Structure 1
Amino acid sequence: MTGRTFYEFFAGGGMARAGLGSGWRCLFANDIDPVKAAAYETNWGASDLRRGDIGDVRAAHLPGLADLAWASFPCQDLSLAGNGLGLGTDTNGSRTRSGSFWAFTRIVRELADDQRAPGTIVLENVVGMLTGNEGRDFATVGRALADLGYRFGAIVLDANHFVPQSRPRVFVIAVRRFGRVPPELRVDAPVRPWHPDVLVRAVQGLDRRTADRWIWWNPGAAPTRTSALSDLISDRPTGVVWNLADETAKLVAMMSDLNLKRLQEAKRAGRRMVGSLHLRTRATPHGRKLRAEINFAPTAGCLRTPKGGCSRARVIVVEGRRVRTRLLSPEEGGRLMGLPEDYRLPGHYELAFQVLGDGLAVPAVAFLRERILDRIDLPARWRRDAAWTRYRAVEPFGQPMPEMA
């Protein structure tokens, strides 16, 4: 499948673009964050990117007619680690950061008024979107899509199907009413692992009109991951250094009895053991205390945007009595996100993980594209109109779409 087009909102470093691949052409991208926008320009060029608040973007800024609008809108107010403010409402007075979703729906509505609504929409966010405000946030998203004239469904897709990182995310896939969904892409009832209980409960909370637009997407069999965390961790990392022996000793001294037991078991394993190490503030009989916690599972925890020393991802490597610790390197973080080796991250450690922590697992996007997006049938009329449509050009974007024979 080649020749489809897309808009990329909340584009970050362009990981949706990486996952969609060369068969999909980006017409427009937008992000407000200067660090992520700079990473986008470094890897994809500046010609398609508009920096700034999505609230300032209008349909007139968007060229052509896109087959897909991708929106990984902010998760801060929906995640378990966030503040629980949710989506807010479609008014400036009560809008949250995650509520920038409303600016996206306004753009789609403007495109529809201009006869240019995208054939498909993908919304991506944390699983907390399903439970926020007792499910009302998800119901609000569904109702907004239905009001825009779309049928929609969702799957929960974890990056650990592809890379050794636990990173479950909700992907809502919506299709304009004229789009044909092949029978093999849908089922009549939820199926595992794509529709876990938390999603089923969220769907049960939809109002009747919205529920009538629901699709149980079926991307087929889940892939089997072939790599483990130990495969991605280098003995000679770039961008970070191994801790000195006394620094590692301090971390070991911060471990609870349970974590010390894990460390002893790793020493007795008789082979190279690679694990994750995190600093966590825990309640103890003597008050709250900073603890070092380790896990030698083959899958790392979810990468996050670092907001301080405690949130930085660390690794521990044990070979017999030898114990080494250090920060996870940006290069290794890129591998955990499935980024291509030639993807260029910011040179500063914190900035690199700012791009990674808020990013998309590239193989998850590629899976969604291959199993669903490439196979949704948009009528020939839609394809023909996409080639001929003119648009209102607003600087610095906009050259007329080339005419096709």
Structure 2
Amino acid sequence: MFTFIDVFAGIGGFRRGCELTGGVCVWSCEKDKFVRPAYASNFDVADHEFAEDIEDVDPKSIPDHDVLLAGFPCQPFSTAGKREGFAHETQGTLFFDLVEIIREKQPAAFLLENVKGLLGHNSGITMFTIMRVLDDLGYRVYPKVIDADGFVPQHRERVYLAGVRDGIDLGWHELMGPWNAFEAPQQGSLQLRHILEPHDQVPDKYTLSDRFMAGLRTHKANQAAKGNSFSYRVFRSNEVAGTLTASYAKSGQSILIHQGRDRNPRKLTPRECARLMGYPEHFKIPVSDSQAYKQFGNSVVPPLIRAIVDAMLTWHYRE
């Protein structure tokens, strides 16, 4: 058994993946007033603190833990050339609060996640700062971009930073860290047919109207005439979807589902989004459709997190 904390918890994608490997959550934190009920509906928060605002948390009050998990927001970092320590370069960002926890609690390992664009953000300065700060804290950090395709029927590239504290031997190869042991399913092994409801069981409200479809076609043509790219993508059941984003409620044309030649395509239902992200059928969705789309679009993929944590931790953290 090992313990972990769930920072910027969202709806619990990190937590579910880690619990599947035998981990026990001892502290979690999430600020969004719509996300907190979703998290509390699916995980037991009665036996540990479920903090709200990370900026109000004293790191000393957080329980000791083996692993820190966080999908941290990417905020602007200082571009100062002088090396004056993490407080100078990350002050005013939520990453600073995360670093404070790591510095105070010194977990054996951590797993951080962010969008792939983090690698090139601010001409690479942001990523350079993050890596240097974590190194200064005494951690060896191993970044890797992973596509969730195979774990779920969705192309979803994200960057993961796996870190281990100096002096801790988790059996990682010095160059590749846990990624030597990481095993991913064959891409394309899961298709949309594995998560879609039968069309006759999907409420009509998810089918796009003729007016909406005409607007999409017109907008695409207008953008093409200007030399701009705009597309709506209609997927069939034997395909792998594109990336589910937090803006799906407003821009659902990114993943439309084919319903035959005589019917307009439709959006995914919230339950289908849950499946697309790798959540089980019993996962509760106690919010509106628009909030559900946002929450699943912001989530990590639990089966992928499970595989990463399995690769990170050796037998001495298991019962």
TM-score (normalizing by structure 1): 0.67
SS in 2 for 1:302: coil
Question: Is 1:224 paired with 2:173?
Answer: no
- 8 Å Cα contact 2:9-2:30 kept in structure 1: yes
Q: How does 1:9-24 map to 2 (within 5 A)?
A: 9-22=7-20, 23-24=22-23
Q: For the Cα contact (< 8 Å) 2:77–2:90, is it kept in 1?
A: no
Please name the residue that 2:131 is paired with. Answer: 142
Unaligned 5+ segments in structure 2 are: 81-85
1:177 aligns with 2:175: no
In structure 1, distance between residues paired with 2:222 and 2:277: 29
State the distance in 2 between where 1:69 and 1:328 align: 33
**Matched residues in 1 for 2:134 and 2:62: separation?**
20
Aligned to 2:31: 32
Q: Is the 8 A contact 2:248 2:297 kept in 1?
A: no
Counterparts of residues 182-261 of structure 1 (less than 5 Å): 182=171, 185-186=172-173, 188=175, 215=177, 217-225=179-187, 226-234=189-197, 235-237=199-201, 241-243=205-207, 247-248=209-210, 250-251=212-213, 254-255=216-217
**Distance in 1 of aligned mates of 2:79 and 2:282:** 39
Distance apart, 1:285 and its partner CA: 2.7
In the other structure, the counterpart of 1:5 is 3
In structure 2, the residue matched to 1:326 is 266
Q: CA 1:163–1:289 in 2, change beyond 3 Å: closer, same or farther? A: closer
Query: In 2, distance between residues paired with 1:230 and 1:241?
Result: 20
Identify if the C-alpha distance between structure 1 residues 375 and 366 changes in structure 2 by more than 3 Å, giving closer, same or farther: same
Task: Measure the CA separation in 2 of the matches of 1:237 and 1:155.
Answer: 40
Task: Report the CA distance between 1:219 and its aligned residue.
Answer: 2.9
Q: Name the CA distance, whole Å, in 1 between partners of 2:201 and 2:45.
A: 30
Aligned length: 309
Structure 1 residue runs without a partner (length 5+): 78-84, 112-116, 191-214, 257-278, 384-405
Q: 1:130 aligns with which of 104, 107, 119?
A: 119
SS at 2:251 equivalent: helix
Change (3 A) 1:288 1:127: closer
Correspondences of 1:61-210 after superposition (within 5 Å): 61-63=61-63, 65-75=64-74, 77=75, 85=76, 99-111=93-105, 117-182=106-171, 185-186=172-173, 188=175
What is the root-mean-square deviation of aligned Cα atoms in Å? 3.2
| Alpha-carbon distance change, 92 to 314 in structure 1, aligned in 2, over 3 angstroms | same
Matched residues in 2 for 1:352 and 1:152: separation?
33
Alpha-carbon distance change, 14 to 35 in structure 1, aligned in 2, over 3 angstroms: same
Residue 45 of structure 1 and its aligned partner are, at CA, apart by 3.0
1:60 aligns with 2:60: yes
Q: Name the CA distance, whole Å, in 2 between partners of 1:227 and 1:45.
A: 30
In 2, Cα distance between the equivalents of 1:359 and 1:281? 33
2 CA distance for matches of 1:282 and 1:124? 37
| Whole-Å separation in 1 of the counterparts to 2:134 and 2:249 | 37
Distance 2:78 2:222 in 1: 30
Counterparts in 2 of 1:68 and 1:93: CA distance versus 1, 3 Å: closer
Q: In the TM superposition, what are the counterparts of 1:288-367 in structure 2 within 5 Å?
A: 292-296=232-236, 298-306=239-247, 309-311=250-252, 314-319=255-260, 321-367=261-307
1:32 counterpart SS class: coil
SS across alignment from 1:283: helix
- Shift in Å at residue 17 of structure 1? 0.8
- Rg comparison, structure with higher value: 1
Partner of 1:210: none
Aligned position for 1:400: none
Give the TM-score, by structure 2 length. 0.84
Q: Deviation per CA, 1:257-308, whole angstroms, max 9, x where unpaired?
A: xxxxxxxxxxxxxxxxxxxxxx879624369898644355711111111276
Q: Is the 2:246–2:294 contact (alpha carbons within 8 Å) kept by the matching residues of 1?
A: yes
Quick one: distance in 1 between partners of 2:194 and 2:135? Answer: 44
Q: Deviations over 1:339-397 (max 9, x none)?
A: 0111112331011112101100111101101222x32767xxxx9xxxxxxxxxxxxxx
Local SS of the residue matching 2:279: coil
Q: Distance in 2 between matches of 1:281 and 1:92?
A: 48
Deviations 1:304-332 (A, max 9, x none): 1127633565523243x323322210000
**1:237/1:348 CA distance change after superposition, 3 Å:** farther
